[in-house]
Chain A
Amino acid sequence: MSDALPPRKSGPLQKREARLAWGLLFPTISSVALVVILPLMAIFWISIKPITLADLRTAAPTVYEKLRGDFATGGDEGTLEYRLKNSSRRQEVTEVKLADTIPTGLHILKLDERCELSDQKLTCEFGDWQAGYSEKLRIPVQVNQQFIDDEINVRSSKAQISGHGVSALLNGEFTLTNFTKIFDGGEFWNVMGVTLFYTIFGTIGALFVGLLAALILNKEFKGQGVLRGLFLFPYVAPVIAVAFTWVTLFDPFSGSANALLLQMDIVDTPINFFGEKPLALIMVTIFEIWRYFPMAFLFILARMQSINADMYEAAEMDGASPFQQFWALSMPQLLGILSVLFLLRFIWTFNKFDDIFLLTGGNAGTRTLTVSVYEQAFAISNIGAGAAVAVIIFAVLLLFSLFFFKFISREEGL
């Protein structure tokens, strides 16, 4: 009897299934590629370019046309002036050309050597302009009576200027200064330290508090549903609302928290919770714990409710005390979800931007890596440097993710 082996090659049915699968996944894959993969690659590109916010506009020539002189009667002379400029201070524009229609009645006396005139059409070729180039092109003109009577405006025919500018994003200029600047001085390691403090304590705190909340709600009683809903409030409310509320509550001058502490004689002078050096970081971390314990709570509670209750009855019969039951029965069952949550929250806290940005703006020793990206790119408007920090974030995350998948594939069987 021959062994019945499964077919090795994929048959037509399997091929069809695979095609269908890729077809179903296509919209997701393409959109994600467009908005995630492409920007990620862009970040790497930008990080090695010397580029600031102002360079985002492509270099282009500009022109401003004006007729100078007093014209009282026909035959008066004046100047037709074109103010020419390269809009960029850092990029050159090539093959600049100007074209304009000269109104009839305006007689050109002397033409610049770069320009030509035919049928009232003026065309000039300026060649290449370096960065920051500017010039006033003056053409002496004479007007006739008709021109004055009709009140003709030279700008009624718009001067057209064209030229090729290369966007600072696409030119061949590369640099490593973005990275060397980051690592210069102690600033970077300071930021890294703050990030790690925030991430580690924020994660552990949220998990621990979430575990406690889950423990007290893991029983049936009246009002359990109400409390469970209530505990999720910090997580569900918009970050902007709760962050500003915390700022208002802990304001050193008009905050209720300080007023309370002063009235109870606990402190003599108001505390600047979000403005003093070590305290601000601690407060920001507490905010993080407050805002994200509900998430840990939700997952841990769901896991707890799926643990078989018989086990606890048996343990109770054997005389195990509540704490013994917790350590010996609940904890081992919760370890899986706790470690998954730890990794997830660790990465998300590491990535967190809005919370600190809204609470302190990264001041008073709370600048994390993500806030630093924003600071560099928009406050100092050095986009290249911001991108370099982003690249570092990405590298650190990649390390985490490798670890994460090694770990989670065991835990979750993904």
Chain B
Amino acid sequence: MTRFRYGYITAPIIGFLWAFTIAILVAVIMSFISGDLFKPSLTFSLVNGVFVGLTLLYLKANKRLILMGLTLLIFLISYFGFGAVFIGEQVSIQNRMVTSLLIALAIILPINIMLTDLNFGALTRHDFEHAIIKFLTWFGYLFFTFIVVIPFYVMLMTSLKSQQALLANPLDFSIEFSKGWALFRSYIELFRDFNFGQYLSMSLMISVLTVFITLLFSVPGAYAIARLRFKGRAAMSRSILLIYMVPMIVLALPIYIAFSTVGLRNSVVGILLIYPVTTVPVALYMLQGYFRGLPAEIEEAGLMDGLSRLAVIWKITLPLSLPALASVSLYVFMISWNEFLLAFMLLDDPSKFTLTRGVAMLNSSEIPRQHLMAGAVVATIPIMIIFLGLERFMTKGLTAGSVKG
């Protein structure tokens, strides 16, 4: 490592790696937006990156003017075909300019930040590692955003395309605004011909009821395990976790058999019998972790003042644990909204489908892909809206049960 600890070696290496990263990224993004030919170029990434790295290191360019000049230079280099991304000939001038500008900005500004602490000659280990870490951090931001966003982008854009357009160029995800409302054809057909409105309300109803039943069962149980002393308490809290580890498919088989013989298959009641039981152990585990964290003194004061245990739970513990209840509800809602296996096995009657079961039905060779993707979007959007609105609770709730500060 010591051999690399010179500014004039570290800077060009970082410059090159960053330029190549940006090249791949911009090429893929532009391809996915326009469907035209964009290709990362290793050689020109090397040339551009090393040049930028060394220049910024040498000029210590925190002055705006130099940065702007350099950006313009890289922009021009890229525009005329010597940039980190090879731009196909049929690409429109507009897209060519956007690509070049994107490359210039995305290369210059981050490299400038990464190299601020470096000097030209020998580096201390500290400064060297700081530069590396800055590079890796920036790389991480891009990498993670990219891998998370791409599938969702493809899902959304595919649902807006027509069959012919998809077959003609699977890369072309540009939105044809000229089509107006016809853009949403897949969605309209899903709701009109495939009953998705009903599946949506079915899923919503089942999920909300599951949340209520789960809370009804798990709040008293969690309180008992967290607060009350009784023989077998440790064993109880362990067996809850143990149940958490039984694979659903193992249970699904006998449940399928039992429901078939009793006639609970294809019924909402059957689903509502099963779903809460799969979520109660999780909810109980999360809640008891939270209850334990509450100060016992307040409850004891309530007991001293003559409240019964149940009144203490109702009047003191529950109001205090509203955030935990919110996060548990959110998590349970998410589980039952996303549940697929049981719905798939127990429901065959299209009039009783949940949303996930309905989407699974769309996965057939007779139904075009964009319908499947539109179904996926319909299933994803509600849970995303709820999640983004209550993300703070979600984060806290998921980690509440097991992480101790």
Residues of A within 8 A of B (CB): 14, 17-18, 20-22, 24-25, 27-29, 31-32, 34-36, 38-40, 42-43, 46, 56, 58, 167, 169, 212-213, 215-216, 225, 227-234, 236-242, 244-246, 248-249, 254-256, 258-260, 263-265, 290, 295, 298-299, 302-303, 306, 319, 321-323, 337, 340, 347-348, 350-351, 353-354, 358, 370, 373-374, 377, 383, 386-387, 390, 393-394, 397, 400-401, 404-405, 412, 414
Residues of B within 8 A of A (CB): 27-28, 31-32, 37, 39-40, 125-126, 128-130, 133, 136-137, 140-141, 144-145, 147-152, 154-155, 158, 166-167, 169-171, 173, 216-218, 220-221, 223-225, 228-231, 233-234, 236-238, 241-243, 245-251, 253-255, 257-258, 260-261, 273-274, 276-278, 280-281, 284, 309, 334, 337-338, 340-341, 355-356, 359-360, 363, 369, 372-373, 375-377, 379-380, 383-384, 387-388, 391, 394-395, 398-399, 402-405
A266 → chain B closest CB, angstroms: 9
Write the chain A residue with the least CB distance to B227.
A21
Q: In the complex, are the beta carbons of B154 and A248 less than 8 A apart?
A: yes
Write the chain B residue with the least CB distance to A319.
B126
Q: In the complex, are the beta carbons of B247 and A245 less than 8 A apart?
A: no
With A245-B154, A290-B147 known as contacts, the answer to whether A351 contacts B403 (CB < 8 A) is no
Instruction: Give chain A residues whose Cβ lies under 8 Å from the Cβ of B228.
Output: 17-18, 20-21, 24
Instruction: Give chain B residues whose Cβ lies under 8 Å from the Cβ of A353.
Output: 247-249, 341
Instruction: Give chain A residues whose Cβ lies under 8 Å from the Cβ of B220.
Output: 24-25, 27-28
Bound-complex Cα distance A236 to B333 (A): 11
Bound-complex Cα distance A303 to B261 (A): 48
Q: In the complex, are the beta carbons of A254 and B166 less than 8 A apart?
A: yes
Write the chain B residue with the least CB distance to A408.
B241
Instruction: Give chain A residues whose Cβ lies under 8 Å from the Cβ of B391.
Output: 225, 228-229, 232
Q: In the complex, are the beta carbons of B170 and A216 less than 8 A apart?
A: no
Bound-complex Cα distance A358 to B363 (A): 10
B263 → chain A closest CB, angstroms: 12
With A36-B246, A244-B359 known as contacts, the answer to whether A18 contacts B147 (CB < 8 A) is no
Instruction: Give chain B residues whose Cβ lies under 8 Å from the Cβ of A265.
Output: 39
Q: In the complex, are the beta carbons of A232 and B387 less than 8 A apart?
A: yes
Q: In the complex, are the beta carbons of B248 and A24 less than 8 A apart?
A: no
Neighbour of A40 across the interface among B231, B250, B380, B394, CB < 8 A: B250
Bound-complex Cα distance A230 to B395 (A): 12
Q: In the complex, are the beta carbons of A43 and B155 less than 8 A apart?
A: no
With A25-B224, A249-B154 known as contacts, the answer to whether A14 contacts B229 (CB < 8 A) is yes
B64 → chain A closest CB, angstroms: 21
B309 → chain A closest CB, angstroms: 6
With A216-B140, A351-B245 known as contacts, the answer to whether A245 contacts B402 (CB < 8 A) is no
Neighbour of A245 across the interface among B173, B257, B376, CB < 8 A: B376
Bound-complex Cα distance A232 to B391 (A): 9
Q: Which 9 A-B pairs have the closest CB atoms?
A: A351-B247, A241-B376, A18-B230, A39-B254, A24-B220, A42-B254, A216-B140, A21-B228, A306-B405
Neighbour of A31 across the interface among B28, B217, B261, CB < 8 A: B217
Instruction: Give chain B residues whose Cβ lies under 8 Å from the Cβ of A18.
Output: 228-231
With A248-B154, A263-B171 known as contacts, the answer to whether A390 contacts B360 (CB < 8 A) is no
Neighbour of A241 across the interface among B250, B261, B379, CB < 8 A: B379
Write the chain B residue with the least CB distance to A234.
B148
Instruction: Give chain B residues whose Cβ lies under 8 Å from the Cβ of A306.
Output: 403, 405
Write the chain A residue with the least CB distance to B330.
A236
Instruction: Give chain B residues whose Cβ lies under 8 Å from the Cβ of A260.
Output: 28, 31-32, 171
Bound-complex Cα distance A49 to B126 (A): 68
Write the chain B residue with the least CB distance to A18.
B230
Q: In the complex, are the beta carbons of B257 and A238 less than 8 A apart?
A: no
Bound-complex Cα distance A38 to B154 (A): 43
Q: In the complex, are the beta carbons of B399 and A373 less than 8 A apart?
A: no
With A238-B379, A239-B340, A248-B158 known as contacts, the answer to whether A32 contacts B277 (CB < 8 A) is yes
Neighbour of B402 across the interface among A17, A340, A350, A404, CB < 8 A: A340
Q: In the complex, are the beta carbons of B133 and A36 less than 8 A apart?
A: no
Q: List 9 A-B contacts (CB under 8 A).
A: A21-B230, A28-B284, A29-B221, A35-B277, A46-B254, A236-B334, A248-B154, A259-B171, A263-B171
With A21-B230, A254-B166, A370-B249 known as contacts, the answer to whether A35 contacts B273 (CB < 8 A) is yes
Instruction: Give chain A residues whose Cβ lies under 8 Å from the Cβ of B39.
Output: 263-265
Q: Which of A14, A215, A238, A347 has the most CB of B within 10 A?
A: A238
B397 → chain A closest CB, angstroms: 10
Q: In the complex, are the beta carbons of A27 and B221 less than 8 A apart?
A: yes
Write the chain B residue with the least CB distance to A34.
B277
Q: In the complex, are the beta carbons of A241 and B257 less than 8 A apart?
A: no
Beyond known contacts A32-B277, A241-B155, A255-B170: 17 more, CB 8 A cutoff = A21-B225, A35-B277, A40-B250, A56-B261, A216-B140, A236-B334, A238-B337, A242-B151, A244-B359, A244-B373, A244-B376, A248-B155, A260-B28, A319-B126, A337-B402, A350-B247, A412-B404
B290 → chain A closest CB, angstroms: 14
B9 → chain A closest CB, angstroms: 18
Bound-complex Cα distance A74 to B257 (A): 53
Q: In the complex, are the beta carbons of B224 and A24 less than 8 A apart?
A: yes
Instruction: Give chain B residues whose Cβ lies under 8 Å from the Cβ of A21.
Output: 224-225, 228-230, 233
Neighbour of B37 across the interface among A31, A212, A263, CB < 8 A: A263
With A18-B231, A351-B247 known as contacts, the answer to whether A241 contacts B149 (CB < 8 A) is no
With A240-B356, A240-B379 known as contacts, the answer to whether A213 contacts B247 (CB < 8 A) is no
Q: In the complex, are the beta carbons of A405 and B403 less than 8 A apart?
A: no
Bound-complex Cα distance A290 to B152 (A): 13
Instruction: Give chain A residues whose Cβ lies under 8 Å from the Cβ of B234.
Output: 414
Q: In the complex, are the beta carbons of B151 and A245 less than 8 A apart?
A: yes
A302 → chain B closest CB, angstroms: 4
Write the chain B residue with the least CB distance to A316.
B126
Bound-complex Cα distance A21 to B394 (A): 29
Bound-complex Cα distance A258 to B154 (A): 13
Bound-complex Cα distance A35 to B256 (A): 11
Q: In the complex, are the beta carbons of B166 and A259 less than 8 A apart?
A: no
Bound-complex Cα distance A27 to B375 (A): 37
B87 → chain A closest CB, angstroms: 12
With A24-B221, A228-B395, A241-B379 known as contacts, the answer to whether A405 contacts B251 (CB < 8 A) is no
With A238-B337, A264-B39 known as contacts, the answer to whether A245 contacts B152 (CB < 8 A) is yes
Bound-complex Cα distance A105 to B166 (A): 72
Instruction: Give chain A residues whose Cβ lies under 8 Å from the Cβ of B137.
Output: 215-216
Q: In the complex, are the beta carbons of B243 and A36 less than 8 A apart?
A: yes
B237 → chain A closest CB, angstroms: 6
Instruction: Give chain B residues whose Cβ lies under 8 Å from the Cβ of A354.
Output: 340-341
Bound-complex Cα distance A405 to B241 (A): 10
